[in-house]
Amino acid sequence: MDSTYQEKIGLLQEMIAFSLVDGELHDREFDFIMVIASELEVDKETVFKLFDKKQEKVVIKDEFNRVCQFYRLALLMHCDGVLHEREQIKINEIGINMGLNPYAMKRVLHLMKESPTRMVDGETLLSVFSEQHN
């Protein structure tokens, strides 16, 4: 298996583990994971197997992809319509472990909370993280 495929599997495993932080997998969370799997070109059978596997540590090398994964997790956190304290703690922990700026993460999460769709456009997302470099 090539490393790019392994990275995709790792991203999905991280999303699956995150979706279970609150103790249950909601239908909307499952659907969202399946949409991401489809975009990553990972088949359904493989995704189902990932629910039984222990999560492997994913190292995302470039910042753009770390920001994208953080945003995927944030969308996953919001998709069931309930923000659990354990999810908020875990997403901050994951973001810090990815090396993302805590202030940028907090700002993005706040923007998402304030948005009626719980989404932030890509340009705003990247600008929030790039502001922290100046």
The CA–CA distances, whole Å, from 129 to 61, 88, 133 equal: 16, 19, 7
Which of 26-40, 42-56, 102-116 bottoms out in mean pLDDT, i.e. has the lowest? 42-56
User: What radius of gyration do the chain's Cα atoms show?
Assistant: 14
pLDDT confidence bin for 79, thresholds 50/70/90: confident
Cα 33 to chain centroid, rounded: 10
Tell me the per-residue pLDDT of 98-131, one tens digit each, with 9 for 90 and over.
999 999 999 999 999 999 999 999 999 999 999 8
CA distance linking residue 44 with residue 102, whole number of Å:
34
Provide mean pLDDT across the span 26-41.
94
**102 CB-near residues (< 8 Å, 6+ apart):** 92, 95, 96
CA distance linking residue 64 with residue 126, whole number of Å:
8
Domain regions of the chain by residue span: 3-52, 63-131
pLDDT confidence bin for 52, thresholds 50/70/90: confident
Residue 103 has a pLDDT of 95
Residue 36 has a pLDDT of 96
Which of 12-16, 45-49, 50-54, 107-111 bottoms out in mean pLDDT, i.e. has the lowest? 50-54
The CA–CA distances, whole Å, from 39 to 67, 84, 97, 99 equal: 17, 27, 25, 25
